[in-house]
Amino acid sequence: MHADQPILLIEDNPDDVELTLRGLQENAIHNRVVVAKDGAEAVSLLVGSASGAPMAVLPAVVLLDLKLPKLSGIEVLRRIRENARTRRLPVVVLTSSNEERDVVASYEFGANSFVRKPVDFDEFRRAARELSLYWLVLNEPPP
């Protein structure tokens, strides 16, 4: 397991942040969760910026919303894949969008998975459990 690596949650909606955190906690996921509230903050955390260095330890997985302030989720994904340090990071697009163009764009820019956020809390909790089990326990990341 990648318990020493954080999970990076890129989400601007406080309710969705709370649901995701609760879903992870209820499923015994002990990884620290770092929350970026907009696309610019996410890029700064992952690849650095003029005002600061990136996270010292890369996340085990990035949970990325598409509709973000400052930089869109697609733009964040593009920048992750352009950077040598982050290009192999597992990125799961976790969004309420049901637009086909968002699915296509996410995969074209290198998303590893596209998951629609369930509206129902029990479904959301189940999705968090399955995502965390796969990406934090079963998946073998590149070295």
* Higher per-residue pLDDT: 3 or 6: 6
The model carries a pTM of: 0.90
Instruction: Supply the pLDDT for residue 1.
Output: 46
Closest by CA to 24, choosing from 106, 111, 115, 135, is 135
* Higher per-residue pLDDT: 19 or 58: 58
Report, in angstroms and rounded to the nearest whole number, the Rg of the chain calculated over CA atoms: 14
Least confident stretch, 4-8, 38-42, 121-125: 121-125
Pairing of strands 7-10, 61-64: parallel
* Higher per-residue pLDDT: 19 or 64: 64
Q: Tell me the domains of the chain and their CATH numbers.
A: 7-138 (3.40.50.2300)
Name the most confidently modeled range: 1-10, 19-28, 89-98. Answer: 89-98
* Higher per-residue pLDDT: 100 or 26: 100
DSSP string, 93-140: EEES---HHHHHHHHHTT-SEEEEPPSSHHHHHHHHHHHHIIIIII--
Question: By percentage, how much of the chain surpasses pLDDT 70?
Answer: 98
**How does residue 3 score in pLDDT terms, banded at 50, 70 and 90?**
low
Report the chain's mean pLDDT, rounded to a whole number: 88
Report whether pLDDT(125) > 80. Answer: no
- Average pLDDT on 2-26 reads 86
